[in-house]
Amino acid sequence: MKIFKGERKMKKLTKSSSNIVLTGTLAGIAEYIGFDPTILRIIYLVLLFLGVGSPVFLYIVLAILIPAAPKNKSQYYSTQEPRKRKEAEKIDDDDWSDF
C-alpha cells in the first residue's frame, strides 16, 4: 500500500499585507489562526479598555517581532491590458428638455 505524502504548504505567522489598520499585526494573527480580523480587533479593544494585562505593550512587541508578509506585486498590478475607455455620447447643446 502506497501512502501519498502531499506537499503541505506551511503557514507562517506574518503581518497581513491586505488587511492593514495600523501595522497589520492583528489581521496577520487572525489570518494565521483562521479567525475574522474584525472580531479579533474588537476583542483587542475590549481588553484595552478593561485594562487586562498590557495590550498596548503586547501589540508593540508583536508588531516588532512578527515579520511583514512578502509583497505580491500581482495583487497590485494586473497583467491584463487596460480596458479601453468608453466614448462619451455627444449631446445637443440646444436640447434643454431635461430641465
Q: Read off the pLDDT of residues 59-82 as tens digits, 9 standing for 90 and up.
A: 999 999 999 887 765 444 555 677
Residue 88 domain flag: no
Task: Say if pTM beats, i.e. exceeds, 0.75.
Answer: no
Residue 96 domain flag: no
CA 48 → CA 40, 42, 53, 58, 63, distances in Å? 12, 10, 8, 11, 16
Residue 1 domain flag: no
Residue 61 domain flag: yes
Residue 65 domain flag: yes
- Give the chain's domain count: 1
Is residue 21 within 8 Å of residue 29, measured between CB atoms? no
Residue 23 domain flag: yes
Residue 78 domain flag: no
Domain around 52 = 11-69
pLDDT band at 7 (very low <50, low <70, confident <90, very high): low
Residue 31 domain flag: yes
DSSP character at residue 67: P
